[in-house]
Amino acid sequence: AIGTPAIGIFGPTSPYHWAPLNGLAATIKRATDLPCQPCHKPVCTQNDHHCMRDITASEVVETAQRVMANAR
């Protein structure tokens, strides 16, 4: 909904195409691109899921805290 803080976590998909449009939103993706990214596949063709596994829980928490602080 409009005005609702949101975070989009992107691995096999592209934030360029699917990022939240909300001004209170943030996107998270792997710091460096992989050759297979974005693959848009439901199952990893590389069998390692680095596009998602390399996103740390602390990165998600920090982003969530920042988004929530900006929403106040």
Over 70: is that where the pLDDT of 1 sits? no
Tell me the C-alpha distance between 43 and 34, whole Å.
16
Query: pLDDT tens digit string along 49-65?
Result: 999 999 999 999 999 99
Query: pLDDT tens digit string along 4-45?
Result: 899 999 999 998 888 888 888 999 999 888 999 999 998 999
Q: Model's pTM, two decimal places? A: 0.82
What confidence category does residue 66 fall into, taking pLDDT thresholds of 50, 70 and 90? very high
Two tokens at 51?
Answer: 């596009």
- HSE (CB half, 13 Å, CA atoms) of 4? 6
Tell me the C-alpha distance between 35 and 22, whole Å.
29
